[in-house]
């Protein structure tokens, strides 16, 4: 590993606790080791490590790893061994639409330039083999022949150095890089941006000048393919001490992007007309379309759903959902199941379930669950809502019985049913009260003081028993009946459940 101050390395070995556990379960488990490396108090760092398999009793061939140059967006490394020397250069961060050469400056006029990555192996015989997109380098190599990507490359010598390609620009701009801005700079809304796979969302970078001097500068973004930020450069000029500036921008997602996307941005600033100072790259996470992320915390393993309009948490073991939050991050369920399921007699999906399996798809998010080996059910996500149905080919009973306990979190007061939409035998919809014998096609639960209500929809309509703010109902397992849940604005329920428009001859 390349040396770096304040690096903590922890090596874990097979111990007594694991040995006892294996003996109790009468199972076979290979002796495990764990190596963890940590640096604290830094915003940005590069862990540079080699991995060399060796036979027992033999010494490794590699004798040293040296970091020759590092930039916020790349690093150049030399690996020394008894019979070869390797040079590796790599670019960090999101891909650029039109990448420019990345220059690494070393002492004594030595340099290396790449576009994305470059690899050189200098053999003891003097032969140099290269791969990647080197645009130029001057390195202390005594070589007779240089082959790049399988083709002979033209080189010259400058003293004891090998020179290839274009020389490094004499005026490579130098920008002082610091880890943190000396003034607050935050993205609003906070946290990751939840977006549709093809959509747009407005955000802003809010800067407050706490330097005591007029503040000017700009912000640059790096984005992966399929994600665009407009404008690509945000300017702020002469922000007075104590004042704030909001720099609006728009994020747009489109094909082929999906799932978790990490954008980066960096802030350049100056309090006079001198060379600007630059922050280290800051992350901005965008979830394009519904996305599942593995989450391990407090000895529990979950899938965290990041989706437009809602966030949810599902247990990896059985898929039980125990957390629900709206688009503003307001938590409406935490620690209690969103729904349980049975065959009408035997509980199948519940908190004390003994047999369960899940098959997740990260993006677009999708979970298939196996409940007590008697059925398989599926939850998928689209349009800012989640939909639940049974899988007929793997279910052994005709009707699946669901219960929504309704243990909601509502600091503004007890939630209540704002609207329940029933449907008669002719398909006519009307607002009804709990206890009505009509089938229910949709319902809206209102949280006092909240910006979002919780909506339910049944396709086709089902008989629903309302118990407080919870409900019970069943769906046909063999005809792909489904029920849906999602957050809606207080005035958006009709559009959400697709209320039928009245014709000219219909009575009001």
Query: What residue ranges do the domains of the chain occupy?
Result: 62-165, 176-288, 332-497
Q: Find out whether 146 and 153 touch, Cβ atoms under 8 Å.
A: yes
35 torsion bin: left (phi>0), alpha (psi -120 to 50), beta (else): beta
Q: What is the pLDDT of residue 108?
A: 75
Per-residue pLDDT tens digits for 368-380: 999 999 999 999 9
Per cent of the chain over pLDDT 90 is: 63
Fold classification of 176-288 (topology level): Immunoglobulin-like (2.60.40)
Tell me the mean pLDDT in the region 89-115.
80
Phi, psi (5° rounding) for residue 139? Answer: -135, 155
Q: What is the pLDDT of residue 97?
A: 59
Mean pLDDT, the chain, as a whole number? 88
Q: Residue written as tokens 């108090």?
A: 41
3-state secondary structure 371-416: ECCCEEEEEEEECCEEEEEECHHHCCCCEEEEEECCCCCCCCCCCE
Predicted pLDDT of residue 176: 60
Q: What is the pLDDT of residue 340?
A: 97
Instruction: Catalogue the long-range contacts made by 3-10 (C-beta closer than 8 Å, 24 or more residues apart).
Output: 4/39, 4/45, 4/67, 6/39, 6/40, 6/41, 7/37, 7/38, 7/39, 8/37, 8/38, 8/39, 8/40, 9/35, 9/36, 9/37, 9/38, 10/34, 10/35, 10/36, 10/37, 10/38
Task: Kindly state the percentage of the chain with pLDDT values over 70.
Answer: 92
Q: 358-363, long-range: CB within 8 Å, 24+ apart, which pairs? A: 358/303, 358/314, 358/315, 358/316, 358/317, 358/318, 358/319, 360/292, 360/303, 360/316, 361/292, 362/259, 362/291, 362/292, 362/293, 363/258, 363/259, 363/260, 363/288, 363/289, 363/290, 363/291, 363/292
| Residue 506 pLDDT level (bands cut at 50, 70, 90) | very low
Separation in Å, CA 179 to CA 44, 63, 105, 267, 282: 7, 32, 21, 11, 9
- Paired tokens of 236: 């702020």
Of 463 and 107, more confident: 463
Assess whether pLDDT exceeds 70 at residue 400: yes
Name the band, by pLDDT with cuts 50, 70 and 90, for residue 464. very high
Whether the pLDDT of residue 503 is over 70: the answer is no
Which pLDDT band holds residue 27 (cuts at 50, 70, 90)? low
- CA 437 to chain CA mean position, Å: 45
The answer to pTM > 0.85 is no
Query: Is pLDDT above 70 for 326?
Result: yes
Read off the pLDDT band of 507 (50, 70, 90): very low
Pick among 1.10.3470, 3.40.50, 1.10.287, 2.70.98: CATH of 332-497: 2.70.98
Residue 313: band (very low, low, confident or very high) from pLDDT cuts 50, 70, 90: very high
Lowest mean pLDDT among 98-102, 196-200, 253-257, 408-412: 98-102
User: According to the model, what pLDDT value does residue 435 have?
Assistant: 83
pLDDT over threshold 80, residue 186: yes
Q: Which whole number is the average pLDDT over 196-202?
A: 92
Does the bond joining 256 to the residue before it have cis omega, within 30 degrees of 0? yes
| Model confidence at 364: pLDDT above 80 | yes
Structure tokens at 405: 């306990």
Give the pLDDT confidence score for residue 502 in this predicted structure. 38
Mean pLDDT value across residues 155-173: 79
């Amino acid at each position: 590993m390349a040396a770096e101050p304040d690096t903590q390395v922890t090596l874990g070995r097979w111990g007594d606790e694991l040995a006892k556990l294996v003996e109790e379960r009468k199972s076979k488990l290979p002796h495990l080791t764990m190596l963890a490396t940590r640096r604290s108090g830094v915003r940005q760092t590069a862990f540079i490590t080699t991995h060399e398999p060796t036979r027992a009793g033999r010494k490794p061939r590699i004798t040293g790893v040296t970091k020759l140059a590092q930039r916020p967006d790349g690093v150049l490394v030399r690996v020394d061994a008894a019979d070869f020397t390797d040079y590796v250069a790599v670019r960090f961060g999101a891909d650029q639409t039109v990448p420019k050469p990345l220059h690494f400056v070393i002492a004594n006029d030595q340099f290396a330039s790449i576009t994305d990555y470059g690899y050189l192996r200098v053999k003891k015989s003097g032969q140099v083999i290269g791969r990647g997109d080197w645009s130029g380098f001057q390195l202390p190599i005594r070589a007779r022949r240089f082959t790049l990507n399988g083709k002979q490359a033209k080189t010259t010598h400058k003293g004891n150095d090998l020179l290839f390609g274009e020389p490094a620009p004499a005026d490579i701009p130098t920008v002082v890089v610091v880890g943190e801005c000396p003034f607050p700079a935050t993205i609003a809304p906070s946290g990751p941006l939840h977006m549709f796979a093809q959509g747009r969302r407005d955000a802003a970078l809010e800067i407050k000048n706490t330097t005591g001097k007029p503040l000017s500068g700009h912000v640059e973004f790096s984005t992966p393919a399929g994600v665009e930020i407009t404008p690509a450069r945000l300017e702020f000029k002469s922000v007075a001490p104590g004042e704030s500036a909001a720099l609006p921008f728009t994020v747009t997602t489109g094909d082929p992007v999906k799932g978790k996307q990490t954008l980066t941005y960096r802030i350049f600033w100056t309090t006079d007309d001198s060379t600007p100072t630059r922050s280290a790259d800051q992350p901005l996470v965008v979830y394009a379309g519904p996305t599942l992320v593995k989450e391990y915390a407090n000895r529990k393993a979950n899938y965290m759903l990041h989706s437009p309009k809602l966030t949810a948490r599902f247990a990896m073991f059985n898929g039980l959902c125990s957390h629900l939050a709206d688009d503003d991050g307001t938590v409406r369920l935490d620690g209690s199941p969103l729904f349980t399921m049975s065959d009408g007699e035997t509980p199948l999906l519940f908190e004390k379930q003994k047999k369960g399996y899940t098959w997740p798809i990260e993006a677009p998010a999708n979970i298939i669950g196996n409940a007590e080996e008697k059925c398989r059910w599926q939850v998928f996500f689209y349009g800012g809502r989640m939909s639940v149905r049974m899988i007929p080919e793997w279910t052994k009973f005709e009707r699946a019985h669901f219960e929504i306990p309704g243990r909601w979190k509502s600091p503004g007061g007890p939630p209540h049913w704002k609207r329940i939409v029933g449907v008669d035998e002719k398909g006519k919809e009307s607002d009804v009260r709990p206890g009505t014998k009509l089938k229910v096609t949709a319902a809206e639960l209102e949280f006092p003081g909240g910006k979002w209500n919780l909506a339910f929809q049944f396709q086709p309509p089902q008989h629903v028993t309302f118990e407080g703010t919870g409900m019970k109902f069943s769906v046909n397992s063999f005809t792909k009946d489904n029920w849906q849940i999602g957050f809606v604005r207080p005035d958006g329920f009709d559009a959400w459940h697709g209320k039928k428009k009245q014709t000219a001859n219909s009575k009001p």
